[in-house]
Structure 1
């Protein structure tokens, strides 16, 4: 069989470009799909194994098993087949990044927030396989591939080469033959790999988590026999003894996850992920959250994988009990002091500190006792309230006139985006849930479930009372806010939709993608109208001017791009930010789009006519995580990575932000 070379045509439509890696079982190449003009990864079996029937069958089984799993956390398999000279191959998506093994070698133990993120994503990918009756049997850092998702790690599960299918009738593995990678194999894998169930993957995931947290393996041995004995005993050093800043509750989680007794382990990947998220919280927060009294709850769907059908909501117009936290109306207090907001039992829940500087027109809002920061924020249509979604799951409504908190809600999962309109506040969370609240009272109205996790963007059409949502896939879902029903599903940009905006004057939607670097314009029913290009970078944020004259896109390379909506022409590209523009808002003046507010390493206000920075706030040391502008043009709000929320009167007081000519 001839050696493989770059430029070689594997099939009439697959041309090899470069070798990505080689191992004992084969090699992986970057290749070009000539029919589609796209690049893919091709896995080829090593010639020495081709004559081995079980190896060839396992190779084919890998393709079939992975192709069945539809999850953003599992590498997509497009095709598999045999070359003319009899060499099996698998065509997969081409990933850019590094294996978790390489990442650990490069960085050592990972930050706890990265461990939680990577474990949660792995759990969803492995859980998707388990739902289909597929057990991986070789979970290890080599088979977890980490890509950069706009500055945050994102993992995909690779290599189902020795996967076990619970409904399979083939006899690829003889009883008593151990298969897997020894340090990550469960005790039962050493005994009889044919009789393992999904909990063997959960064991391996726990070993990987131990390694991510401590940089070491829980079980080691100078020989395979010594290692097998150590694993069978199940004795290991608690993670907190190697990394003292870890909560002791992580030790208890690890003891259960690495239980030698299969029945003593967690029952599913997502149960394991939820338990780890709870164990990783600092002790004061766990105690505080556990003290919240039980109240009426709405049962929300929860499973290892996302359901194929989105559940319908409750009866239209019926207010539901609050599913996430307690609402309250705190007593009036003096500005500048931290005052507790009482829960239903009168206990202390959130503490809000408000500092008011009326001379310079600045209101500073701080939630005390919770290490968090605002992920998204928005004024109501009258500019009387400010809604902020925080990273730790709190959603807070600030009454700006009375300078107090009006209501709050809490979820035990990260809030990522927020939209307001028509008397509603919609919040998207990292678990795929969308909770819709009454803007005045904070009462939860409906709960929706986006088809994929990580709700990235939301926008509301107030006149139609419709909500658009996007997640980690390329689907945008249009919902009815009154009925909670799914109205339309549009396939937008490949690689995910990071931003959505709605224009109430023109009745148009816009979506932006970090992958194909396009902005797409849709009509009110989400039928495609325009594809906007020319900005050359991933789109992170979008906003329409209140008068419908412009569409602005904040880009990953720090550029601010303006299109004139009359003919959809690229009007301006404004540069000045060094980091991605995560949030953008128009600041109207005299009824027209006068200025634009952007948030990146600092906050900038740009003049549309001049294309120059009018005001710059912040030194660049603390990143801005979100911006908002009042529809009447009288105020600006911003959230920063240090946890503060600031509301500025417009025009900005000269002492706060000097004009800039840049």
Structure 2
């Protein structure tokens, strides 16, 4: 491919992720001899990434540069992510992740969200594809994928078992509780190997999410009431019934894992 950008400073090599409004490419930065990711394609890019560029968190991708190309418009130069997504980790291995590891994963991701929320930002797209696990050393990363069109309630192409109920309601806003909901849905997948809502039909899936028709984790494995209760609260269709902060959800996750471990030890004794 090797398409020049910014007067040859970058060479676009191949498309990695395509959204409805932007695309992320793997690219070569010639002046620094390094691989980067470049997102381009929409006028909202500078607005989106400018608020991320000053964040100090190893869990969020660094923004190297925001620029303008005469032919392709605004672009953002991003730190490339290594490793693989949580989706790949679970599906390629053919097995889900244990509760203790899920608890550690959740604590780390909640820390990244805390940085994001302190900066006045929400992610609003967290799902297993946005969680990147390191191939060797390093921590878990929370990716930002290409910009998509705004969600239109009931449209099948945008239906996802990780959408929060408020994202399916016309005119409803998103806030930090939306991120916590989507993170809980992602942890549910990591723990059970299945999404929290299983309908394949778009209308039925949306109805399950809006109605809170959650399949308890104990249906997928030997998890106790505390684990079921944690996810029932975290995935409540009513945002006011969910965890109200990163810290509260982190505490709830630790307690669920602790009580499950205690009950498992007691049963085995």
Structure 2 counterpart of 1:33: 29
Which protein is richer in helix relative to its size?
Answer: 2
* CA distance in 1 between partners of 2:15 and 2:250 (Å): 32
2:213 to 232, 235, 249: 235
Change (3 A) 1:72 1:177: farther
Q: Which has the higher contact order (CA 8 A, sep 6+)?
A: 2
* CA distance in 1 between partners of 2:257 and 2:249 (Å): 12
Please say if residues 6 and 68 of structure 2, whose CA atoms lie closer than 8 Å, have aligned partners that are also in contact: no
Which protein is richer in strand relative to its size?
Answer: 1
Structure 1 counterpart of 2:6: 11
Q: Post-superposition shift, 1:148?
A: 2.9
Structure 2 counterpart of 1:255: 232
Q: Post-superposition shift, 1:276?
A: 0.8
Structure 2 residue 77 is the aligned partner of structure 1 residue 99: no
Q: Deviations over 1:168-206 (max 9, x none)?
A: xxxx96997989753111111111355222111111111
Structure 2 residue 132 is the aligned partner of structure 1 residue 145: yes
* CA distance in 1 between partners of 2:260 and 2:6 (Å): 58
Change (3 A) 1:173 1:31: closer
* CA distance in 1 between partners of 2:158 and 2:60 (Å): 19
Structure 2 residue 109 is the aligned partner of structure 1 residue 130: no
Please say if residues 176 and 193 of structure 1, whose CA atoms lie closer than 8 Å, have aligned partners that are also in contact: no
SS in 2 for 1:123: helix
Please say if residues 196 and 214 of structure 2, whose CA atoms lie closer than 8 Å, have aligned partners that are also in contact: yes
Matched positions, count: 263
Q: Which has the larger radius of gyration?
A: 1
Change (3 A) 1:113 1:283: closer
* CA distance in 2 between partners of 1:62 and 1:144 (Å): 19
Structure 2 residue 74 is the aligned partner of structure 1 residue 88: yes
Q: Post-superposition shift, 1:252?
A: 0.9
Change (3 A) 1:196 1:137: same
For residues 48-63 of structure 1, the aligned pairs below 5 Å read 56-63=42-49
Q: Post-superposition shift, 1:17?
A: 6.3
Structure 1 counterpart of 2:140: 155
SS in 2 for 1:60: helix
1:270 to 247, 263, 267: 247
TM-score by length of 1: 0.37
Structure 2 counterpart of 1:117: 104
Please say if residues 65 and 160 of structure 1, whose CA atoms lie closer than 8 Å, have aligned partners that are also in contact: no
Structure 2 unaligned regions, length at least 5? none
Change (3 A) 1:209 1:193: farther
TM-score by length of 2: 0.84
Q: Deviations over 1:597-639 (max 9, x none)?
A: xxxxxxxxxxxxxxxxxxxxxxxxxxxxxxxxxxxxxxxxxxx
Please say if residues 138 and 162 of structure 1, whose CA atoms lie closer than 8 Å, have aligned partners that are also in contact: no
Q: Post-superposition shift, 1:226?
A: 1.1
Structure 2 counterpart of 1:603: none
Please say if residues 210 and 237 of structure 2, whose CA atoms lie closer than 8 Å, have aligned partners that are also in contact: yes
* CA distance in 1 between partners of 2:143 and 2:261 (Å): 38
* CA distance in 2 between partners of 1:284 and 1:182 (Å): 31
Q: CA-atom RMSD, angstroms?
A: 3.1
* CA distance in 2 between partners of 1:231 and 1:24 (Å): 24
Please say if residues 154 and 202 of structure 2, whose CA atoms lie closer than 8 Å, have aligned partners that are also in contact: no
SS in 1 for 2:25: strand
2:256 to 279, 288, 292: 279
2:62 to 76, 79, 82: 76
For residues 293-304 of structure 1, the aligned pairs below 5 Å read none
Q: Post-superposition shift, 1:210?
A: 0.8
Structure 2 residue 170 is the aligned partner of structure 1 residue 192: yes
Q: Post-superposition shift, 1:161?
A: 5.5
